[in-house]
Structure 1
Amino acid sequence: MISVGREIQSDLARATRQEWLITNGIGGYASSTVPCINTRRYHGILVAARRPPVERLVLVSRLEETLIIDRQEISLSTCVHEEDIKNPAGYLHLERFERDPVPTWYYQIRDVLLIKTMNMVYGQNTTLVTYKLLGNNREVALRV
């Protein structure tokens, strides 16, 4: 099992060298780095093969995720620009990542824990992303 903890917050360069991959059995896949910063041309949430296993197309490159707690917006996404500016810097909220059995991200913001998992449907070009909120007594919403 591959697991990354809070060290991701202090060493983003290391975190972007660690990757995850899930497949659908027909040439398609989802793949990126631990903080979901796409560093390769074929990183994406849904990459389908038109003629398996070739002619792959990135259909969904990434997700923009924002957690809204008590009307305050907190981005969970991270973008790295040419000047190495990280904006937004959602990786700062990433508490833990586990690669097995499926990629799972744990985001901690104050007393709110958001767990995101990603999986693919075998035999289909379908990526499932699920979110689960734990331990909050606040007004919380998620925008994807």
Structure 2
Amino acid sequence: MRRDRSRFLLAAGASLLLAFPLGLQAQTPQELKAYERRLQQLFEQLDRDGNRRLERQEVQGQPYLQRHFDRLDQNRRGYLTPADLKPSNKVPPPRAERVLRKADQNGDGRIDQQEAQGYPWLRKHFQTIDQNGNGSLDRGELNTLSKPAHAN
């Protein structure tokens, strides 16, 4: 009974710590250190064999880690280290850059009508976003996505 309770608390704590990365909020250095210390403790509890790696089988029963294992394992090593679990300081690219990166299949820096087909919202608003009417969307035109007029 006590062991089940500890596992539950461990799972709940890991999910809470990892699901809400501190990088999204302004944190004091003390709060960040406390967060990293709790994260390290959880890591050590999950690392059953003590090899400083979390293998897939060690994260069984940890829904967040199971679901996000591949995303967290950015180096594709098949295991997670404490560094993989730390909050990211990276600022996500602007929306226009993300859209261009995903939809530009031929890498020419533009999205044509064919490339837009896989993105219903982009396909629907293609003519509006294509301000110069040349049949493709460039980075400048995609920057209008950040403006409220195109936020639906």
Q: TM (normalized to structure 2)?
A: 0.19
Higher radius of gyration, 1 or 2: 2
Q: Which has the higher contact order (CA 8 A, sep 6+)?
A: 1
Where is the helix percentage greater, Structure 1 or Structure 2?
A: 2
Where is the strand percentage greater, Structure 1 or Structure 2?
A: 1
Q: TM (normalized to structure 1)?
A: 0.19
